[in-house]
Amino acid sequence: MKISIIIPCLNAAETIGVQLEALATQEWLQPWEVIIAENGSTDNTVSIIKEYQTRLRNLRIIDASDRKGAAHARNLAAKVANGESLVFIDADDEVAPGWLAAMGEALAKCDFVAGKHEHKKLNHLQVVKWHQLEEDSGGIVEGQYLPFAGGGNLALFCHYYERIIG
């Protein structure tokens, strides 16, 4: 099963290298790609990403600057993804060692996978406070009306994504 890892990215020069370094150490025997949906950065985010293209040969950048927002960037990347499954992470996070294999193995058993978030390492205190409920939940948050998963560590098969998006 080929996995497409999608990362929306806007002015992430401080953190994108950490995420890409973590991805460069992942091991997964199946094919996988990384798509960064660049949302119009004005810092040196793009140059940092390009430096990693020699280490991550499966890394490509798409232009998502026509409309700001992580949702828009994710949707554009999903449209050009070559994988059977989509795995969404964020530019201001760092995947753990063994993360890709764990997500792939979980997708072999489940149609939808949500992973835990750790916000303290790379984020400012205000962001940590915003996400406290999500971090304590282990991936699925009991919302006011329905449970939900954050967009920063989740995976599903493309055919489900297409049914949701339309």
pLDDT the model gives residue 117: 56
pLDDT the model gives residue 52: 97
CATH class in words for 3-165: alpha beta
Strand pairing category for 3-9 and 85-89: parallel
Using alpha carbons only, what angle is made at residue 133 by residues 116 and 23, rounded to the nearest 5 degrees? 25
Question: pLDDT per residue over 3-61, tens digit each?
Answer: 999 999 999 999 999 999 999 999 999 999 999 999 999 999 999 999 999 999 999 99
Distance CA 67, CA 10 (A): 11
pLDDT the model gives residue 164: 83
pLDDT the model gives residue 98: 95
pLDDT the model gives residue 8: 98
* Domain regions of the chain by residue span: 3-165
